[in-house]
Amino acid sequence: MKLSKVVDSIVYVPLETKIYLTNGLLQYVKPYWCAFPGRLFDAKGKYVKQIGKLGGGPGEDTSPWGYMVTYDEKRGLFYTQGNKIIQYDKNGKLQEQKRRYNIQAEA
């Protein structure tokens, strides 16, 4: 299959970062490029801010599995979804979180 059947354009955006992005998980969340876990860059690749981080505490996510970021421009809120749904304000401050999966091992 030709790539032109799937996409109409490709954009190369070099990201301004000193951090090696090992997992390659990158998505466009208008108006930001977002690299896991929550490193935000503007349309030209300039680093803007961090929302969330890896870990097991409040506002932290443990895995890139199923990870995605959405941004509600009207309300100025970010949401990350991985093993939790986490809400941050426009400055990246934790607002709320809910466990996405409630899986418990049987004894």
pLDDT digits (tens, 9 = 90+) for 14-55: 888 776 655 567 888 888 888 877 888 998 999 998 888 777
- What is the average pLDDT across 68-90? 83
pLDDT at 103 over 70: no
pLDDT for residue 106 is more than 70: no
* Nearest residue to 79 (alpha-carbon basis) of 51, 101, 99, 49: 51
Q: Which tops the pLDDT comparison, 65 or 13?
A: 13
CA angle (4 as vertex; 3, 10 as ends), nearest 5: 80
pLDDT, position 62: 74
Return the higher-pLDDT residue of 107 and 25. 25
Measured in degrees and rounded to the nearest 5, phi and psi for residue 87 equal -110, 130
* Res 16: pLDDT: 83
Closest CA to 53 of 20, 25, 94, 14: 94
Burial readout 54-75 (b: 16 or more C-beta within 10 A, e: otherwise): eeeeebbbeeeeebebebeeee
Closest C-alpha to 64, from 34, 42, 96, 40: 34
Q: Is the pLDDT of residue 105 over 60?
A: no
